[in-house]
Structure 1
Amino acid sequence: MTSNIAGSATSNIAESATSNIAESAKAFPGTARVEMVMGLPVSVDIRTALPARELAPLLNDAFAWLRWVDDTFSPVKEDSQIGRLNRGQTIRQIPELIEVLHRCDELTQATDGWFEARINGVIDPSGYIKGWALERLSRALSNAGAGDHRITAGDDIRVRGSAAPGKRWRIGVRDPRKDVVRKVVFANDLGIATSGGAPIVNPHTGEVQEGLGSVTVIGPDLGLADAYATAIYAMGPLLARRFAAGLGESGPYQTMIIARDGQETSTPGFTDYSGAEARLAG
């Protein structure tokens, strides 16, 4: 995690979230911090018992990385690399930029065009970049010795390790439209991405998709889960259920779909993280 970006934006929301996280974590080793990045409060909660002299730099580097991602990939910042690319200006040959654009193209193929970062000549990797950034951060924290952590940015969550000795993380999956918990997931190593809180465009028509309430995808890579959730939401009800079923049968990514009327449909593997056995084990 490297960046020359310094400083942090804070708000009353972030300060309140920091207080809540600190309260929940104070019985365990580690530390937590919330800062405003990408226009929303992002929290990093580390539960690994590390010396304070190591924890503070880890958190500083974590938020520096996230700000660098925002400054590089934001489609609304004029001087970001994505902004410059969309205006046909010279960009820096950043390996991460090449990686993200290549992965977005792969995801377009994997979803039959339902995930699309290039619409009407404009590049916008927003449906992938937040999950990708948190996934990269989670791996970096683990490599630095902070293997027990939870990172939350809006409706994207990455957990790893344990919330407390012998305890898996307990994550409430919220309906972004009604702000109610629809499912509780228990896990030691999982990415959880939910789409539906912000408008998502059907890439085949250019119109905002309004056929679903929300889509949550869980799996081992938060970037992929984020992109799949975006694509499945864009598909609309019928195709979404069909694609989610195939995705669950062929690999580790499982889906919960909430219809506009509140009806819930989940792939079988989703219940492995939220059923009675998961609660007892967690």
Structure 2
Amino acid sequence: MTDTVAGSAGSASEVRHAEEVMGTVFSFDVRGGEPAEVRAALDEAVAALHRADAVFSTYREDSQVSRLARKELTVADCDPEVAEVLALAAEAERVSEGWFSTTYEGRLDPTGIVKGWAAERAARRIAAAGVNGVSVNGGGDVQMTGTPEPHRSWRVGIADPLRPGGLAAVISAAGAAELAVATSGTAERGAHIVDPRTGKSAVTDLVSVTVVAPRLTWADCWATAAFAMGSRAGLAWLESLPDVEALLITAGDEVRCTGGLASRLG
């Protein structure tokens, strides 16, 4: 866990923090705001991430989700966040026509939506403290609100899955009150995305799908679903979604984009 605080007379403060949780690192970049209020909001956001991990982790036998899957609890017995996340997951499954699923090997597993939802919630919690801007990066998926500085915008680099260390594109949040960028693929974690029709690893022509949308909850879900669909069906489906742009890269090094993605490059 690390913190970096910068600022000087006449300049907005900057707070950077890294937190290991949910099996990854969440990085916070907070600009502006009253230092005491920012610190309190950041502490609350970090505590909420750990609480979400305790509630939703499928690796913990005593988590509420694990106990729910074993039918030791009902949804009503769980924290309100469980019902909230399951309702969001049901909506994602409906919109994706089943390509996004919270069932794995016949067992409840909402981990595909929890990280994005938790990062989005953390960013909004800090934004409510009156900061100029905040970026929360949860294992490579990013939720941004506001701006880092006047007349500047948040920018996110998209890793090139076929050229380690390189960038496939840079996304700009210019003009957006909030923007999220999420990537699903095989470059870093291997074949971990499941085809819900077969219950096995999704075999498609894609190596990565990056989705740009206002909310990380949905961007993360849509990237996962589109990857499982494959490039042709995935691109067509993503084009049909409102306020969504995407970049798809195939194993053959073809780059396919939604029609409006160019407006977000920079």
TM-score range, shorter chain: 0.7 to 0.9
Three-state SS of the structure 1 residue aligned to 2:201 is coil
2:40 partner letter = P
Aligned equivalent of 1:273? 264
Are 2:222 and 1:239 aligned?
no
1:180-219 pair list within 5 angstroms: 180-187=166-173, 188=176, 189-196=178-185, 197-198=188-189, 199-211=192-204, 212-219=206-213
Contact 1:44 1:149 in 2 (8 A): yes
Distance in 2 separating the partners of 1:150 and 1:264: 27
More helix by share: 1
Kindly tell me the number of residue pairs found equivalent between the two proteins: 253
Contact 2:31 2:133 in 1 (8 A): yes
Contact 2:56 2:65 in 1 (8 A): yes
More strand by share: 2
* Per-residue deviation, 1:145: 1.2
Distance in 1 separating the partners of 2:172 and 2:235: 23
1:1-282 pair list within 5 angstroms: 10=1, 15=2, 28-50=12-34, 52-90=35-73, 92-175=77-160, 178-187=164-173, 188=176, 189-196=178-185, 197-198=188-189, 199-211=192-204, 212-247=206-241, 251-274=242-265, 279=266
Aligned equivalent of 1:3? none
Distance in 2 separating the partners of 1:129 and 1:49: 28
Distance in 1 separating the partners of 2:127 and 2:46: 15
Distance in 2 separating the partners of 1:253 and 1:241: 11
Q: What are structure 2's unaligned runs of at least 5 residues?
A: none
Distance in 2 separating the partners of 1:194 and 1:128: 13
* Per-residue deviation, 1:116: 0.6
* Per-residue deviation, 1:30: 2.5
TM score, norm. by length of structure 2: 0.88
Distance in 2 separating the partners of 1:176 and 1:53: 40
Q: Map Cα deviations across residues 163-190 of structure 1 (whole Å, 9 max, x no partner).
A: 1121011211123563531111111420
TM score, norm. by length of structure 1: 0.83
Q: Percent identity?
A: 33
2:201 partner letter = V
Distance in 2 separating the partners of 1:38 and 1:205: 27
1:252 partner letter = D
Alignment RMSD (CA, Å): 2.0
Distance in 2 separating the partners of 1:114 and 1:53: 44
